[in-house]
Amino acid sequence: MNNLSVGLPSTLGSYLKLTVLVFGPESPAVTYLKEQIAEAPAGEEEEVLAAESQMLYVISEIHSKGYKK
């Protein structure tokens, strides 16, 4: 499994922790990640294969533009 630049494993749970720290618990990006975790077979431990830069872009776009399922 790959690690993020901050040393955490590249999992949905790690991205959730970082998103809460940066954007706060009420961010639409947090809602998105929680839904992804609920649907993932491994939950928070689900590995993210996308590049870190791509995930950061997606999370920041969801945060700034909102999230609708």
The 10s digit of each residue's pLDDT in 11-35 is 999 999 999 999 999 999 999 999 9
The SS3 of residue 11 is strand
CA distance 9 to 44: 11
Percent of the chain clearing pLDDT 70 (strictly above): 100
Q: What is the pTM of this model?
A: 0.95
Q: What are 24's two structure tokens?
A: 């706060």
DSSP secondary structure letter of residue 5? T
pLDDT at position 59 over 90: yes
Across 60-64, average pLDDT: 97
**Does the structure show a pLDDT above 90 at 39?**
yes
